[in-house]
A = this chain, B = another copy of it.
Amino acid sequence: MSSSIITPRTLRGFADVLPANARHQRRMTHSIEQTFASFGYDPISTPAVEYAEILRGKGGEESDKQMIEFDDQGGRRVALRFDLTVPLARFVAQHESTIKRPFRSYHIGTVWRGERPQRGRYREFTQCDADIIGESGPAAEAEILAMFQAALTSMEIGPFAMRVSDRRILNGLLSGLELVDHTLPVLRALDKIEKVGADGVRAELLAAGASEAQCQTLVRFAQCQGDTNEATLAAMEELVGEHDEGRAGIAAVARLVDLVEAAGGDPSALKIDPSIVRGLDYYTGMVFETVLTEALHVGSVCSGGRYDDLAGLYTKTNLPGVGGSIGISRILAAIEGSERLSEVPTGQPLVIVTNSGDEQLHDAVSLARRVRAHTELAVETYPVSVKHAAQMKYADAVGARFVLTVDTDSQLSVKDMRTGDRHSVSEVDVPELLTKLVQSD
């Protein structure tokens, strides 16, 4: 044993996940995987560490600044992945000869960003991405939106609002305003409208070189949200005018809303909102974000869009893509902050088999095995022979449903921790009794 203690601590922005949250994470991940699989999506995974050159330069300046880079032992410049979208683009380019297109895949993984940590935002966090690569068209976009709505519903995290737009609408507007050269700074400014408000956006747009009149139009655009999607579409049409790309974007969003409904998505949860532009540079068409109605403060928990040129960094083959990402770590932060969400059940009822000393240990271990094999319950054997009261205290603390104690070779007592009742039964009858008691809950 070492003489001096190293203070146990984690880096700021890097968090342990304790059992209560980890059970939620497991439950949610499982629901997401089942949903994605039912839409024909296959799992993949890519390395956390890649050549920096591969990961750099497509998310945009701000994401490059936040990328955690270092030199590895062999002197190679490497980085921790910033998202799962850029690695996917590299993946499909690298494996284009073996994968079937359209390629539907999902990926659950950790990503790292060296940004300032704040509530619900970490430097290391988990995302669940799903993407369809190889074809562009409204059916793929509608599928992505409907599938993410189905996944969020299956996760039982309360009501949500998904907001959707299309980058081409803004492109049309910028073209009319003769601001095409300023697309990226305008995107980044508009992306912050919820965070910094209209005045903050206006200041940033002015700093980026827009005139007072241009600022006014852009802010009006970001704020044109009607009571219905139809009203929003009409307001956007008025601002964008006759520009072809803008018109195409508006028509695409309108069609999308219809198809998402056909695909089983919740039309009331899908709102057209031109302020949705996404800060990342790689989006080229549809973009979306999603907030939890009961936890707005954690920000978007599910977002994505179409990125038709991203794989073009790595291959000459045309590999258009559309996808989205669920922010598991942010949702865990939302659950932690909500009494209602944190009460969703996450585990099986627990049985504790007490330990009455070395002589009966063999029987106790064997009983635990039998209960595990013949019920749906989780079963623990208390590992050491301490006082019965201490074992009962542990059972109480961990919320055990039953405590079993071996009395004689074939007889044992069952304590029902919910009712306080005690039952004396023979070992062979235990599984049936426990199952019956649980079913009557």
Minimal Cβ-Cβ distance residue in B for A19: B42
State which of B54, B377, B384 has its C-beta within 8 Å of the C-beta of A139.
Answer: B384
A294 within 8 A of B: no
CA distance A94 to B6 in the complex (A): 11
Query: With a CB–CB cut-off of 8 A, which chain B residues contact A363?
Result: 262
Bound: A259/B68 CA distance, A:
48
B262 touches A369 (CB 8 A): yes
Q: What is the minimal beta-carbon distance from A60 to any residue of chain B, in angstroms?
A: 14
Contact across chains for B68 and A73 when beta carbons are under 8 A apart: yes
Residues 62-93 of A contacting B (Cβ, < 8 Å): 68, 70-73, 76, 78, 80, 90-91, 93
Contact A369 B43 (CB under 8 A): no
- B39-A378 in contact (CB<8A): yes
Instruction: Contact check, A44 vs B16: say whether CB atoms are below 8 A apart.
Output: yes
Residue numbers in B under 8 Å from A99 (CB-CB)? 18-19
Tell me which of B22, B139, B259, B373 contacts A43 (CB under 8 A): B22
Determine if A40 and B139 form an interchain contact, defined as CB atoms under 8 angstroms apart: no
Query: Counting chain B CB atoms within 10 Å of each CB, which of A80, A143, A384 scores highest?
Result: A384
Contact with B along A135-150 (1 / 0, CB 8 A): 1111110110010000
Q: A102-B382, A315-B8 are in contact. Are A14 and B49 (CB under 8 A)?
A: yes
Instruction: Evaluate whether A11 and B78 lie within 8 angstroms (CB atoms) in the complex, with A361-B139, A378-B37 already known.
Output: yes
Residue of chain B at shortest CB distance from A7: B314
**Closest chain B CB from A192 CB (angstroms):** 23
A160 to B51, CA, bound (A): 37
Q: How large is the interface on A (under 10, 10 to 19, 20 to 34, 35 or more residues)?
A: 35 or more
Contact A18 B264 (CB under 8 A): no
Q: Is A368 an interface residue (CB 8 A)?
A: yes
> When chains A and B are docked, how far (Å) is the Cα of A115 from the Cα of B30?
33
> In the assembled complex, how far is the CB of residue A123 from the closest CB belonging to chain B, in whole angstroms?
8
- Complex CA–CA separation, A37 to B2 (angstroms): 34
Q: Which 8 pairs across A and B sit closest by C-beta, in order of nearness?
A: A70-B70, A14-B47, A40-B380, A19-B42, A8-B94, A264-B369, A1-B312, A22-B43
What are 10 A-B contacts defined by CB distance under 8 Å? A7-B314, A8-B91, A11-B78, A49-B124, A68-B72, A102-B383, A138-B361, A140-B383, A259-B361, A262-B366
List residues of chain A with CB under 8 Å of any chain B CB.
1-2, 5-11, 14-19, 22-23, 25-26, 30, 33, 37-40, 42-51, 53-54, 68, 70-73, 76, 78, 80, 90-91, 93-95, 98-102, 104-105, 110, 112, 114, 124, 132, 135-140, 142-143, 146, 258-259, 262-264, 309, 312-316, 347-348, 350, 355, 361-366, 368-369, 372-373, 377-384, 394, 397-398
